[in-house]
Amino acid sequence: MADFIFKNNSMALVLVICSFGLCLVSTHAELQRFEQPAKTEGTLSFLVLGDWGRKGAFNQSEVAVQMGRVGEKMDIDFVVSTGDNFYDNGLTGKQDRAFVESFTQIYTANSLQKQWYSVLGNHDYRGNAEAQLSSQLRKIDSRWLCLRSFIVNSELAEIFFVDTTPFVKSYFTDAEGHTYDWRGIGSPRDYIANLLKDLKLALSESKAKWKIVVGHHAIRSIGHHGDTEELVRKLHPILKANNVDFYMNGHDHCLEHISDTESPIQFLTSGAGSKAWRG
């Protein structure tokens, strides 16, 4: 779990994260956009969580309790999930009880009854990825919103959610016995090219004070998985060219803050939502 408070003229980095209200609007790019206003005093506060869904095991329930306490103290407005939402192999379908047992029944604190914005991680792709994207889950728990890539906008910040799993070549060429649900991806080359084109356009048009990009895989990390070379080559240059302030990810089961040596970008890993070691 990681956190931040954003203000008009300053930013404080704490241990949980940021804020909005939900409304879908159109955008010139293909990425769906959700508009939410900042607090009346001009601040944003939200939690960032990754690598969590284990039916309460491996410290997931303990982390959830602390999230509830910090969320109440900070008066958060929403939660961001950096992926690997359901272990070990995502959901089997829209009716999989793991959704309720790993999400609804775990994050029960009043402060966590806010919108959750989620991306898919590599473990989510090992199950029925389409199930997590389904509106059916929002009927089961209205907090849930998971899309491949999208934008959340407030008066202070825009958060750009990026589907990073299809970038990783080894998932296609050396799956190590795992089966990935690539429905909706088609040609990985075309999928990535179109996504980066849409992201580049959206970032270049953004007038937000703070630009934040969220993905599952790290660009820079000193954790077990380390840097994701495909993102270093393809995503990092776009973030630098468009003055992105933060890149937030999971994948490595730890908390990290790395400052880019080539730009003002701050790399933040929040992947300790449950099992804080390899696996």
DSSP annotation string for 26-43: --SSSSEEEE-PPPTTSE
Percentage of residues in the chain having pLDDT higher than 90: 83
Phi first, then psi, for residue 132 (nearest 5°) are: -65, -25
What the block records as the tokens of 251 is 């994948």
Question: Rounded distance, CA 230 to CA 227, Å?
Answer: 9
Handedness of CA 152, 263, 50, 184 (dihedral sign): positive
pLDDT of the residue at 277? 77
Question: Is residue 19 pLDDT above 60, yes or no?
Answer: no
The tens digit of pLDDT for each residue in 227-257 reads 999 999 999 999 999 999 999 999 999 999 9
What the block records as the tokens of 24 is 């879908």
Handedness of CA 132, 135, 139, 141 (dihedral sign): positive
**Which amino acid belongs to residue 3?**
D
246 neighbors 269 (Cβ within 8 angstroms) = no
Q: Any bridge partners for residue 77, and if so which?
A: none
Pick out the residues of the known binding site for Fe cation: 51, 84, 87, 122, 216, 251, 253
* CA nearest neighbour of 69 among 119, 104, 24, 109: 109
Percentage of residues in the chain having pLDDT higher than 70: 89
149 neighbors 156 (Cβ within 8 angstroms) = no
Q: What is the pTM of this model?
A: 0.91
Pick out the residues of the known binding site: 51, 84, 87, 122, 216, 251, 253
Question: Rounded distance, CA 33 to CA 242, Å?
Answer: 18
123 counts as catalytic: no
Catalytic residue among 28, 225, 236, 257: 225
The tens digit of pLDDT for each residue in 23-55 reads 444 334 489 999 887 788 889 999 999 999 999
Question: How much is the CA Rg of the chain, to the nearest whole Å?
Answer: 17
Question: Is residue 148 pLDDT above 80, yes or no?
Answer: yes
CB burial of residue 61 (10 Å; 0-12, 13-18, 19+):
middle
5 — pLDDT class (breaks 50, 70, 90) = low
139 — pLDDT class (breaks 50, 70, 90) = very high
Between residues 11 and 250, the one the model is more confident about? 250
Phi first, then psi, for residue 128 (nearest 5°) are: -85, 90
What the block records as the tokens of 64 is 């959830």
Task: Give one DSSP letter per residue of 173-203, joined into a string.
Answer: H--TT-----TTT-SHHHHHHHHHHHHHHHH
Domains and CATH numbers, the chain: 2-270 (3.60.21.10)
